[in-house]
Amino acid sequence: MNAYSMLYLAPQWNELPGPALKAIAATDIEDAIKKMQQFTIDILILKKHASENPFQKLCRVFNYQFPNGKIIWIDDQDISAIPNLLNECILSFERKMKPIITIKDDAFEISSIAVNIQ
C-alpha cells in the first residue's frame, strides 16, 4: 500500500479520526493553499456549510494541482464515518494503480489433440 496524505482545516475539528494517513492540518484557506504547494495531497476533507461555499477557491486549486485527488465533504454528524470514507478513497486509489492481469493456465483448451481421461 502506498503512503497517502490528507489535508484538513484544523479549526473545523479538534481531532480528525482516520486510518494511518499522513495528516496535514491547515489553519485557514490560505494556509491550506500554501500546504498544497508544499506537499502532495491525495484527499482534501472539508466541512459542509449551509450558506455559500467559502471553499470554492480551495477546491479549484486542489482540483487543478491534484486532478486525481478526492474531496470529501463532511457534516458534523458524519465525523464517525470519516475512517470508512478514507478507506474507500484509498481503495479506489489502489484499484486505479493496480494493473489488471488475467492468466489462464489451460494447456488442453486449444489443443488439437483429443485428450480422454478414464
Per-residue tens of pLDDT for the chain, all 118 residues: 467 777 776 555 555 545 557 788 888 888 889 988 998 888 888 887 766 577 888 889 999 999 888 888 887 777 777 778 888 887 887 777 666 666 666 666 665 666 667 6
Q: CB-based burial of residue 36 (10 Å sphere; 0-12 exposed, 13-18 middle, 19+ buried)?
A: buried
* DSSP three-state, residue 43: strand
pTM of the shown model: 0.66
Among candidate residues 31, 36, 15, 4, the one with its CA nearest the CA of residue 82: 15
Q: For residue 71, which phi and psi values (nearest 5 degrees)? A: -110, 130
Q: Which three cell numbers stand for residue 108?
A: 488442453
Contacts (Cβ under 8 Å, ≥6 apart) of 11 = 27, 28
